[in-house]
Structure 1
């Protein structure tokens, strides 16, 4: 009775479901939603058909995911692309294996079409990238002039005698200092809010994500007075990564490049597929890092934490937190820098 009810519910469900016999290599059940999603009737469902509709760039990833399922090590779900009737769809697959009463090993799974969900998420992330770019530009463009106002105010104060004028200048300095502190607190809070140790990794097209990130800076070239370039070795490069923490790395490296690169300088962000890992770099032609700071660059609260060329604030944790995030991803981080010629920060993250 329970089996019949379950079967009837599954047949009418919009959630694609299947049962695959691992021993025989055949599907023993697939509901109409599954057949519709993969573009095949039940009697046409074979492992070969499913292999053929998986996007070529995702097939190695799919094989690894299947091995994880069979080895009972799959974490949560798998997201990949399928090509059905010349249309690319993103699907989320949840699967597990179990032994039936006759000793046969069965693979049970659900498949959901998440194409629209990812498109909406991509739209949201574009606005998030715009927000990050605006925040970094504001911190860069406002902190410098405000610091100069404070220095000029202090210099002027020492040269006047009238108590009323001194009071007015002190008011200006105090208000200006509050503005500088507000920028410092805002950028510090924005930086630290995703710096906790919990990772929520998912598979993302990192080449596309970084390209869109850089494009936001390219749109602001008049405001930031820097040229931003982007290079990738392939249009699509997929990696399992905690996306907010990854962009915390990129935000901080981009901010540093802005802080230590003069007007009309060039900043280049690169993404290179190197097989099992992806290499990222942020390169500038700025003032470089003094030799004495290189060994302590990734430590917290050291002299390597410097104000920017326009007095932009620092919280002394940036490179330290970045190194920790990269370590949590089992990645590597290193720097090439020459004073008065520029700096390139490299880091590599494993794809899986």
Structure 2
């Protein structure tokens, strides 16, 4: 074991975190603190080196590949963010979340050492992921309600404007005043609804960027499912297609799901009743591709080059007169860039529009596979 003073040994052993030092050249653990046996009750700290393949097998396959990639990056001297890994030794045991922080250093003989901590963060992760889940559901529900509520107000506003024009010949100032009040009230109500929803989007975009490794299939499915439950309110059909059961990416969950939510909301604005909106998710060797497609009225070709500009001239009211600030697409592009991704659009008038979001994913280091210990 790694030599330490008695004082340091005692300090490390009373900590709830598991401290470790790993000799990457020799492939063995030099030190693990006493919390190791609390973190893994069926293992003993003196067997930490021989337990490494067993610990790797405790991780789901996707997490194994992710952990091995980060291990190879650290050994090579490259930066690797703190690892957040799922742990499930047996199918009938509840899933746990482990946070691992590690850094590279050189030992007295020039050997590569990885030292750091392991900590059970299951309670924190369940809280954060439930909060993200309900935040996404709240934002989606707000979008559905905004379209559902704005529709009648827009119709009443148009009716008031029609009646105001047709009753001018009556020269009845009281009737004209009541119709103006009706028109302005409807317009202000639509503006209030849209401002509230837009405000929620802006607040989400301004929160600090905190990426985590998440399953995009599960998270996007929750958004689409909420829209599907509200199909009768917005008179559109929603579908979600994905290339495989789980697809992982490192994203700020709240921000990125708000991007998807906003793109779907825009598709609703410019798609006629009975139209279709499809969300797609595909895993590629070095990236994840997300698509949001509709068969709506499309975007005129001359507006496409300026669509993502700040206060873009491409802003248009929706088919029901829905308001737009012109900031939405600019913020969406900014959030995608924060994820080191890119977004682009293809559209044809009266055929439909498809937005594409490409997100990078870590590539596995050469020579690293699940059998590495």
The offset of 1:192, in angstroms, is: 2.0
In structure 2, what is the Cα distance between the partners aligned to 1:258 and 1:174?
A: 25
1:11 corresponds in structure 2 to 13
In structure 2, what is the Cα distance between the partners aligned to 1:142 and 1:85?
A: 49
In structure 1, what is the Cα distance between the partners aligned to 2:360 and 2:346?
A: 21
2:273 corresponds in structure 1 to 263
In structure 2, what is the Cα distance between the partners aligned to 1:126 and 1:303?
A: 34
In structure 2, what is the Cα distance between the partners aligned to 1:71 and 1:198?
A: 30
Given the superposition, is the C-alpha separation of residues 170 and 109 from structure 1 closer, same or farther in structure 2, using an over 3 Å criterion? same
1:66 corresponds in structure 2 to 71
The offset of 1:215, in angstroms, is: 1.1
Given the superposition, is the C-alpha separation of residues 149 and 292 from structure 1 closer, same or farther in structure 2, using an over 3 Å criterion? same
1:128 corresponds in structure 2 to 135
RMSD in angstroms over aligned alpha carbons? 2.4
Decide which moves more: 75-84 or 200-209.
Answer: 75-84
Q: Deviations over 1:266-287 (max 9, x none)?
A: 2111111112100000111222
In structure 2, what is the Cα distance between the partners aligned to 1:243 and 1:82?
A: 21
Secondary structure in structure 2 of the residue aligned to 1:304 = coil
The offset of 1:100, in angstroms, is: 5.2
Decide which moves more: 341-350 or 149-158.
Answer: 149-158
1:33 aligns with 2:39: no
Aligned length: 351
Cα pair 1:139 1:312 within 8 Å, conserved: no
In structure 2, what is the Cα distance between the partners aligned to 1:132 and 1:239?
A: 21
Q: Deviations over 1:33-64 (max 9, x none)?
A: 22343442223322433333332212232122
Decide which moves more: 91-100 or 236-245.
Answer: 91-100
Cα pair 2:242 2:282 within 8 Å, conserved: yes
The offset of 1:153, in angstroms, is: 1.7
Tell me the TM-score normalized by structure 2: 0.85
1:187 aligns with 2:197: yes
Task: Pick 1 or 2: higher relative contact order, CA cutoff 8 A, min separation 6.
Answer: 2
Unaligned runs of 5+ in 2: 363-373
The offset of 1:349, in angstroms, is: 0.6
Unaligned runs of 5+ in 1: none
In structure 2, what is the Cα distance between the partners aligned to 1:149 and 1:162?
A: 21
Tell me the TM-score normalized by structure 1: 0.90
In structure 1, what is the Cα distance between the partners aligned to 2:111 and 2:298?
A: 64
Q: Deviations over 1:182-205 (max 9, x none)?
A: 123212222222334963222111
Q: Deviations over 1:233-261 (max 9, x none)?
A: 12211111222221232122101111111
